[in-house]
Structure 1
Amino acid sequence: MSGEDEATRERQRRWRLVLGGAAGESLGKPDGRDGAMDAALAALYDAGDADGRPASRSAGLGGSAPKVARWLGDIREYFPSTVVQVMQADAIERLDLTRLLLEPEMLAAVEPDVHLVGTLLSLNRVMPEATREAARQVVRTVVAELERRIAQQTRAAVTGALNRAARISRPRHADIDWDRTIRANLKHYLPEHRTVIPERLVGYGRRTSAVQRDVVLCVDQSGSMAASVVFSGVFAAVLASMRSLRTSLVVFDTAVVDLTDQLADPVEVLFGTQLGGGTDINRAITYSQQLITRPRDSIFVLISDLYEGGVRAEMLRRVAEMTAAGVQVVVLLALSDEGAPAYDHENAAALAALGVPAFACTPDAFPDLMAAAIERRDLRAFAERLTDQQSG
């Protein structure tokens, strides 16, 4: 077989797997490993069952836990982890498998990921005791992976920002920031000597173990914010591990819960949340204001889709009060890899008018955002750059 024929056959094979049984007449029926992959896809996405027999949409996997467990094992064998996570999320949504996730043997078969953790957290209050430890293990696995992904970058970015924010004008030689010193003294450049006379030295402040910033993370735990809740809990635990920060974590729906005392264990933090319910942002901000005792040295991060069920005017007034007092206020529509969800555009515009842009942030960009907030940089410019990067 020529190389061109082989490439054509491979394209046809891939299209057959993409299109499913409906393309069988023109592209044939796959066999062997391809046949098994096709059956796994058909069980989720075709109207027929895993054997290709016509049936209703719900007949693909049915309500049988053993059958679903076998299917979960099959997709882990035939597809890469990223694809498995997408198929699991689709199965939970399309085939209503949420109930089956309450069974320990089901949790042992799934591929742990952020979306699965969000689903488990939403089931937290109805989860039987027999399932709870299996669910904790799933959450523990995902949290450990997220910490490996974000912890080092977060600590480095925050520590660097704190050092830069502590610049002094008469630094010791070892503390001189030569890059900024040269830039600050370019007008004193002597061409004949090809050098700059540094009349003003710019340096870093000496490192200290004292708390330099207070950080309050205020997280909306309504159902649409599931992934943001997971990432926020892990970030809060990482920030809380830094002595130079005093970190508080507040989660809310129509009630407010302070999870600060659990930040040593992010798994406990996540199981302390309760996804779903209404939203009272004003009440959450009212509580958070009580935690802010040093406005000029405080960063308040609100993570919410801004659909306010409380008193909107009061919410905006409190944000204005905080900014006027010197608090660095950050509003994130989402903290996840998915970008901005549906959100209240009117409230976002009202916050922007107060000088507080509302935007979505990925976990990889969050450390840089915290650094910008610590250095009191223009967050509107930061948000615009981040939006351009994400759209590009």
Structure 2
Amino acid sequence: MTGTAGTADAVSRERLRRWRLVLGGEAADGTGHGLAGRDAAMDSALSSLYGKRDTREARERKERSAGLGASAPAVARWLGDIRTYFPSSVVQVMQRDAIDRLGLSTLLLEPEMLEAVEADVHLVGTLLSLNQAMPETTKETARAVVRKVVEDLEKRLATRTRATIAGALDRSARVSRPRHRDIDWNRTIAANLKHYLPEHRTVVPERLVGYGRASQSVKKEVVLCVDQSGSMAASVVYASVFGAVLASMRSIRTRLVVFDTAVVDLTDQLDDPVDVLFGTQLGGGTDINRALAYCQRQITRPAETVVVLISDLYEGGIRDEMLKRVAAMKASGVRFVTLLALSDEGAPAYDREHAAALAALGAPAFACTPDLFPDVMAAAIERRPLPIPEP
């Protein structure tokens, strides 16, 4: 019985501990449970961000903790603390909350702060939005932070993207008189099942189906047209990475165009996505029609071109002209894809009326994760239905 009672007491104490950490503030006093050591440090880090606590424990900790305050050294220490006590995914959420709730954006202009933060896509977006205000002493550190995130994304996404799209390019170039090594045997057998000879237990392949031979010539052209308004920051980061990956494939000619109320062609910088990102300017208005007009003028082989518009569709330009332009591109043979976002965050707030109008033109708008993007591009290249995720 003693062992059972001891176990029950341990469970009860653990429950009180968890409630104490969850509640914080004055409500925590009702648990009758104090914090010490690692738990007290975790609670201090949380209270610095999510609200000062006037409990006795909080008052005692004030002497040991400087809080976030307004100085970079204090914030750097706090960043070190949360990386010690919380997993990386939680650290990234807390960093974003600190930037939003406590107005810490200006502190990211200091090298000491940048060296302390846990780098992720959202931090890159914040740095890009501060690019114009960033002092020269910070820019080198900021580029190093951005490069680390970009390189991590490329490692995760590049191999599968190249393999998926290369396969789509090969399938889109199937020929009816292939060389032996270029025969697609699965499709050849499927196409000749009616010629099966039971007595010989074999299929007579009267029609061969094969892949086109690999060549150095450009097979497809891809235009990424990316909205660089502030709400699209994560999409801009991923689009730059994917643009660089596509540009590395010799059989695809890739163009990257970013826009707000102005249009900037960053194609010449696609060999380095970090240069691309620092060539963007997050924020400002949106003129989708002007951006699409520029992209339309660059198209020379409509039937071999895929245009990917990445935007939340809040159009500040001329709506009817935008829709007419999309219709004209599709009529000329362009495969048009509309992505409301290219990120792991799901569909953002977006203009539903414009999305419905595009869907009526045969260009449904949907949010796309980075992991799904290669499949979307492969389907667009092969001109088959897009793998639109369930809402």
Normalised TM-score (structure 2):
0.93
Distance 2:17 2:324 in 1: 60
Identical columns (%): 72
In the alignment, which of 77, 85, 91 is matched to residue 92 of structure 2? 85
Measure the CA separation in 1 of the matches of 2:212 and 2:46: 59
Q: Which among 52, 57, 72 is matched to residue 58 of structure 2?
A: 52
Instruction: Give the aligned partner of residue 24 of structure 2.
Output: 20
Task: Please state how far the C-alpha of 1:296 moved relative to its aligned partner.
Answer: 0.7
**Residue in 2 aligned with 1:40?**
45
User: Please, which moves more after superposition, 111-120 or 125-134?
Assistant: 125-134
Matches of 2:369 and 2:59, distance apart in 1: 43
Q: How many matched pairs?
A: 380
Partners in 2 of 1:340 and 1:27 — Cα distance?
44
Contact 2:311 2:338 in 1 (8 A): yes
Structure 2: how far apart are the matches of 1:162 and 1:345? Answer: 33
Q: How does 1:125-164 map to 2 (within 5 A)?
A: 125-164=132-171
Are the equivalent residues in 1 in contact too, given 2:67–2:74 (CA < 8 A)? no
Change (3 A) 1:246 1:3: farther
Contact 2:67 2:78 in 1 (8 A): no
SS at match of 2:116: coil
CA contact (8 A) 1:46 1:60 kept: no
Structure 2 CA distance, aligned partners of 1:247 and 1:112?
A: 28
| Structure 2 match to 1:307 | 314
* Structure 1: 5+ residue stretches without partners: none
Please tell me whether the aligned partners of residues 49 and 98 of structure 2 are also in contact (alpha carbons under 8 angstroms). yes
Q: Indicate yes or no: 2:301 matched with 1:294.
A: yes
Q: Cα offset for 1:49?
A: 7.8
Q: Distance in 2 between matches of 1:112 and 1:152?
A: 22
Alignment of 1:196 with 2:214, yes or no, is: no
- Confirm or deny: 8 A CA contact 2:257 2:264 kept in the other structure: yes
Closer, same or farther in 2 for the Cα pair 1:32/1:353, shift >3 Å?
same
Cα deviation per residue 1:108-165 (whole Å; 9 max; x = unaligned)? 1111100000000000111111111111111011011011111111111111111111
- Displacement of 1:365: 0.7
- One-letter code of the match for 1:238? V
Which of 237, 242, 246 aligns to 1:235? It is: 242
Confirm whether residue 166 of structure 1 aligns to residue 185 of structure 2. no
**Pairing 1:282–2:289 present:** yes
Shift of 1:366: 0.6
Q: Does residue 1:348 correspond to 2:355, yes or no?
A: yes
The residue correspondences of 1:352-367 to structure 2 (distance < 5 A) are 352-367=359-374
Structure 2, unaligned runs of 5 or more: 61-65
Q: Which residue of 1 aligns with 2:336?
A: 329
Amino acid at match of 1:106: M
Q: Offset at 1:7?
A: 4.5
Counterpart Cα distance in 2 of 1:138 and 1:27: 44
Which residue in 1 is equivalent to 2:233? 226
Name the residue aligned to 1:69.
76
Determine which of 361, 376, 379 is the counterpart of 2:383.
376
Rg larger in 1 or in 2? Answer: 2
Is contact 1:49-1:61 (8 Å) kept? no
* 1:175 is aligned to 2:179: no
Indicate how the Cα distance of structure 1 residues 192 and 354 shifts in structure 2: closer, same or farther if over 3 A, else same: same
Cα offset, 1:295, TM superposition: 0.4
Helix, strand or coil: the match of 1:108? helix
What's the secondary structure of 1:28's corresponding residue?
coil
Q: Report the CA distance between 1:9 and its aligned residue.
A: 3.7
Alignment partner for residue 208 of structure 1, among 203, 210, 215?
A: 215
Q: Distance in 1 between matches of 2:378 and 2:17?
A: 49
Letter in 2 for 1:19: L
Contact 2:339 2:368 in 1 (8 A): yes
Matching residue within 29, 39, 61 for 2:34: 29
Within 5 A, what are the aligned runs for 1:90-101? 90-101=97-108
1:51-100 deviation per Cα after TM superposition (whole angstroms, max 9, x unaligned): 7249xxxx962322221111011011111111111100011011111111
> Structure 1: which amino acid aligns with 2:101?
R
Deviation at 1:226, TM superposition (A): 0.4
- Secondary structure (helix, strand or coil) at the match of 2:223 reads strand
